Amino acid sequence: MAVDVKMPNVGESVQEGVIHKWRIKTGDFVNRDDILVELETDKATVEVVAESAGVIQIVKKQGETVAIGEVMARIDNTAIAAGAGKAATAPAATATAATLPPPPSPQISAASGQPLSPAVRRITEESNVNPSNVAGTGKDGRITKGDVIAHLEGGANPAPVTAFQIKPQVASGSRSERREPMTLLRRKIAERLVHAQETAAILTTFNEIDMSAVMKIRSDYKDKFKEKYGVGLGFMSFFIKASVEALKQYPQVNGWIDGTDIVYHDYYDIGVAVSGNRGLVVPVIRDAERMSPAELEMAVGDYGKRAKDGKLTVDEMTGGTFTVSNGGVFGSLMSTPILNPPQSAILGMHKIQERPIVVNGQIVIRPMMYVALSYDHRIIDGRESVGFLIKIKEYIEDPTRLLLGV
């Protein structure tokens, strides 16, 4: 009998998905629990596995959109014996690969005996020019791109360029364009960002933090921390802890607007913006106020790895009352992060850079970080936004306050 492979129900708000990649092809034998296909929804990438062993017949092609419950393929489990043939094809493929000709060696200029550069080789091939007919003026008689251009224009060798000469630009290369459809995830990200800009009164306030104390803690304890917990001690756990304590003192930053009501949250589900292979995603660390620094670092590390592998689930990216984004890992010195609706605020971390500052009347060099809080002015006033950032600054510059909760 045939077993239908259907688009699974991956989340309450997900109605459809796009077939991102088939791992197998029609006629292949699959075993139970083999990964068949990667589906891309507007929130996550989902892998679908075989519920039965048998021979696969693909119904929906790669790139097609499928609704929840729609049949994507069928497995004929009456032909299980055909599985033996699958392994037999591997030696043939290996043999074919072994007979492939070696890659061509770089072209050599007959005049100089020197290899041609990629740019020269490309222009000679595109112009159907024999390199042996071109006089090289480069080092050791190498042919330059200008030599080939001069040859095409009918001259012998290019004349020396003076300050008053302007050489005409010559287009080289394919100068091609390509058009690709946006993934569902990228389309959803775009919709949410535009929605945030259109529906919220977004402002951003800034402050700067002396990172000396946190950096000293990391330097003193990173080896023992890694040895005990099996994970590195990063900055994110400090900022999440600081955010939770600051949110307790400014509850409107942890709330959002629902119609004409303000919803306050007495729990702290912190979204962590991480970059995956298909775009920015925000998995949520739930009940962050109950977690230790080690547990926070483990959660952040796990989310980051699975975001790159496309393994995050819809539930893991649903909800969240406040978001922390670390653009500093990409070298950003300052930015204005965009809200993650329906949340009312997002904290942006940035690159640590040594700068001169004044401490007790003396100019000293300290590792400084700019931090930004983008917020919805409909629910959060300037006083609260500035006060919130000051609390973050105090907790990071004096981490003992986090331990004591003061």
Count CB neighbours of 42 within 10 A: 21
Q: How far apart are the first and last CA of the chain?
A: 67
123's enclosing H/E stretch is helix 118-127
Question: Is pLDDT of 405 > 80?
Answer: no
Q: Are 250 and 389 in contact (CB under 8 A)?
A: no
Burial category of 239 from C-beta neighbours within 10 Å (exposed 0-12, middle 13-18, buried 19 and up): buried
Where residue 80 falls among pLDDT bands split at 50, 70, 90?
A: low
| Distance from C-alpha of 304 to C-alpha of 321, rounded to nearest angstrom | 19
Q: Peptide bond preceding 342: is omega within 30 degrees of 0, i.e. cis?
A: yes
Nearest to 393 by CA among 176, 184, 245, 191: 245
381 is catalytic: yes
Q: Are 340 and 282 in contact (CB under 8 A)?
A: yes
76 is catalytic: no
The residue with greater pLDDT, 142 or 32, is 32
Do the domains at 2-89 and 184-404 have one common CATH topology? no
| Distance from C-alpha of 64 to C-alpha of 55, rounded to nearest angstrom | 22
| Distance from C-alpha of 271 to C-alpha of 38, rounded to nearest angstrom | 25
Weakest mean pLDDT among 30-44, 59-73, 339-353, 356-370: 30-44
Q: What angle do CA 216, 220, 224 make, to 5 degrees?
A: 140
Residue range 361-392, pLDDT digits in tens:
999 999 999 999 999 999 999 999 999 999 99
Nearest to 278 by CA among 41, 64, 66: 41
Residue range 242-274, pLDDT digits in tens:
999 999 999 999 999 999 999 999 999 999 998
**Fold held by 184-404:** Chloramphenicol Acetyltransferase (3.30.559)
Domain ranges of the chain: 2-89, 107-161, 184-404
pLDDT given for residue 137 in this prediction: 77
pLDDT given for residue 210 in this prediction: 97
Per CATH, domain 107-161 is 4.10.320.10? yes
Count CB neighbours of 147 within 10 A: 22
| Active-site option among 33, 223, 309, 381 | 381
Upper half-sphere CA count for residue 302 (Cβ side, 13 Å): 13
pLDDT given for residue 113 in this prediction: 59
Q: Where are the alpha helices (DSSP H) in 168-275?
A: 184-199, 212-229, 236-249
Mean per-residue pLDDT over the chain, rounded: 83
pLDDT given for residue 79 in this prediction: 56
Residue range 311-333, pLDDT digits in tens:
888 888 888 999 999 998 889 99
pLDDT given for residue 103 in this prediction: 46
pLDDT given for residue 90 in this prediction: 42
- The distance of Cα 82 from the centroid of its chain, to the nearest Å, equals 41
Query: Per DSSP, what are the bridge partners of residue 49?
Result: 35
Weakest mean pLDDT among 95-99, 212-216, 259-263: 95-99
Question: Is pLDDT of 101 > 60?
Answer: no
DSSP strands (E only) in 50-105: 54-58, 65-67, 71-76
pLDDT given for residue 118 in this prediction: 66
pLDDT given for residue 301 in this prediction: 92
Question: Is pLDDT of 297 > 90?
Answer: yes
pLDDT given for residue 161 in this prediction: 47
The residue with greater pLDDT, 164 or 127, is 127
The residue with greater pLDDT, 143 or 71, is 71
Q: Are 245 and 391 in contact (CB under 8 A)?
A: yes
Query: Which amino acid belongs to residue 263?
Result: V
pLDDT given for residue 132 in this prediction: 79
Question: Is pLDDT of 295 > 50?
Answer: yes
**Fold held by 2-89:** OB fold (Dihydrolipoamide Acetyltransferase, E2P) (2.40.50)
Residue range 166-208, pLDDT digits in tens:
566 666 667 888 888 877 777 877 888 888 888 899 999 999 9
Nearest to 204 by CA among 330, 370, 351: 370
The residue with greater pLDDT, 136 or 367, is 367
| Active-site option among 258, 350, 377, 398 | 377
Question: Is pLDDT of 307 > 90?
Answer: no
- Which long-range contacts does 51-54 make (Cβ < 8 Å, 24+ apart)? 51/3, 51/5, 51/75, 52/3, 52/77, 53/29, 53/77, 53/80, 53/83, 54/3, 54/29, 54/30, 54/78, 54/79, 54/80
Q: What angle do CA 187, 188, 193 make, to 5 degrees?
A: 100
Give the whole-number percent of the chain exceeding pLDDT 90: 41
pLDDT given for residue 238 in this prediction: 96
pLDDT given for residue 38 in this prediction: 85
Weakest mean pLDDT among 3-12, 49-58, 110-119, 352-361: 110-119
- pTM for the complete prediction? 0.63
Where residue 89 falls among pLDDT bands split at 50, 70, 90?
A: very low
Question: Is pLDDT of 158 > 70?
Answer: no
